[in-house]
C-alpha cells in the first residue's frame, strides 16, 4: 500500500514491509499501531539565517506547525510524517474498503515487488545542442 506498509487481505491486517511486524487491523488507521513523535520542525529544517537577528529564518515556525513522525514500533522505520497545526487531530489518511480491495485483487496475479512505473526516456533525435 505504501513504501513501508502492506495489507494482508486474508488476515485483514496492516503489516510493516521492513520487519513484518503486524501493525494493526486494516479496518482502522495504521497510525493507531504506530509510535508518534512531536518533532520541532527547526530540527529538520534548521535556520539558514541567524534566528537571534531575524523573524524569518528559513525554518518553519514551531508555534505554527509541528511534524508528527510515525514510527514502526518494532523496527523504528519512519513510515509516514504529517505537518500538522498544533493540536489538530492526526488524519485517518488511508481508509481502505477491504471488501472492494479483496474483490479487486481476487482477479489479479500476485505482484511480489512494487511496480515502479516507466522511466522517462531521453529523446534520441537530432537536437539543437
List contacts with other proteins (CB under 8 A): 1-4, 31-38, 41, 44-46, 48-50, 53-61, 63-65, 67-71, 73, 75-83, 85-97, 100-101, 104, 108, 111, 114-118
- Per DSSP bridges, beta strands 22-25 and 35-39 are unpaired
Cβ closest to other proteins, residue 9 vs residue 124 = 9
User: What's the closest the beta carbon of residue 31 comes to other proteins, in angstroms?
Assistant: 6
Cβ closest to other proteins, residue 11 vs residue 88 = 88
Cβ closest to other proteins, residue 119 vs residue 126 = 119
CA distances from 107 to 8, 102, 110, 116 (A): 16, 9, 9, 21
User: What's the closest the beta carbon of residue 49 comes to other proteins, in angstroms?
Assistant: 4
Q: Quote the CA–CA distance of 67 and 84 in Å, as a whole number.
A: 6
User: What's the closest the beta carbon of residue 105 comes to other proteins, in angstroms?
Assistant: 9
Q: Quote the CA–CA distance of 129 and 76 in Å, as a whole number.
A: 48
Residue 94, all three cell numbers? 488511508
User: What's the closest the beta carbon of residue 40 comes to other proteins, in angstroms?
Assistant: 12
CA distances from 15 to 12, 28, 104, 116, 117 (A): 10, 13, 20, 20, 23
Amino acid at each position: 500500500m505504501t513504501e513501508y506498509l502492506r495489507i494482508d487481505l486474508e488476515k485483514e491486517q496492516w503489516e510493516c514491509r521492513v520487519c513484518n511486524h503486524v501493525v494493526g487491523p486494516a479496518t482502522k488507521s495504521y497510525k493507531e499501531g504506530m509510535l508518534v513523535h512531536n518533532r520541532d520542525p527547526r530540527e529538520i529544517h534548521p535556520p539558514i539565517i541567524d534566528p537571534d537577528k531575524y523573524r524569518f529564518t528559513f525554518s518553519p515556525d514551531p508555534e505554527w506547525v509541528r511534524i508528527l513522525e510515525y514510527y514502526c514500533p518494532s523496527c523504528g522505520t519512519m513510515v509516514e510524517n504529517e505537518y500538522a497545526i498544533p493540536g489538530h487531530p492526526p488524519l485517518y489518511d488511508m481508509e481502505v474498503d477491504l471488501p472492494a480491495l479483496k474483490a479487486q485483487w481476487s482477479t489479479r496475479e500476485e505482484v511480489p515487488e512494487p511496480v515502479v512505473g516507466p522511466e522517462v526516456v531521453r529523446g534520441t533525435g537530432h537536437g539543437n545542442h
